[in-house]
Amino acid sequence: MKKYLLIACTVLAVTVYSSVELSGNKTKAAEEPAVESQIVETASGRLIQIRNPQSLKELVDHSPLIVKGEIVKAENVQEEVQLIEGTPERTAVDAQGGKSTHIRSGTNYTISVTDVIKGQLEDKEIILFIREDEINLRPELKISDELIFNLAFSEPIGRYIDVHPVAGYLKVNADNKVIPMFDSTKEFANLKNEAYDEVKRKIKDIE
């Protein structure tokens, strides 16, 4: 069976997914610098091309919503959803006369928002959704963890998703110091152990 690069996140140029056959893209992806692009395999065997941010500005520019918040709940969910017409998945199912729905499995993380750094938000709690077969690409997320979340709202899912599986998360420890989960560039690495207020100022200066 041929493997395809599938769209897992619907936002931005920071994370890029393509529905082209992998065999035609291996050489091109390999020629790109590792910090810019990498191909990773999900738990289900899907291959995904991820483009990493080169700077904090690039991450902020592609994050419609940036908040500081605490994870207060994690719930595994399975939902039957309609396959979108025109997608490779729907075309394949229609050709075989199969059911035009599939089960979307993942985890809903309820985030209690304590600070809105970028964007507009009225709710004090929001839900971040991560697909089951992609959860291993993220840092470990636990109840009571406090982080800076870089998010976008997904209309098809009806919940928030991260804009990058690693760079989208900056942990805030008990001393209010920031620990970036992504440190592949000097700028991100230099954020380590900076005060939250200082990191917030840097983000707001970019807006």
The string of pLDDT tens digits covering residues 23-48 is 233 323 333 333 466 788 888 787 88
170 DSSP β-pair partners: 148, 180
Assigned token pair, 194: 């900076």
Q: If one looks up domain 61-78+104-206 in CATH, what number appears? A: 2.40.50.120
User: Comparing C-alpha atoms, which of 6, 5, 9 is closest to residue 168?
Assistant: 9
Q: What is the pLDDT of residue 15?
A: 40
pTM score over 0.85: no
User: Comparing C-alpha atoms, which of 188, 163, 183 is closest to residue 55?
Assistant: 188
Domain limits, the chain:
61-78+104-206
Q: Where are the beta strands (DSSP E) in the chain?
A: 37-41, 47-51, 65-82, 101-118, 125-131, 146-154, 159-162, 169-172, 177-180, 194-195
Q: What is the pLDDT of residue 187?
A: 95
More confident residue, 135 or 20: 135
Q: What is the pLDDT of residue 93?
A: 78
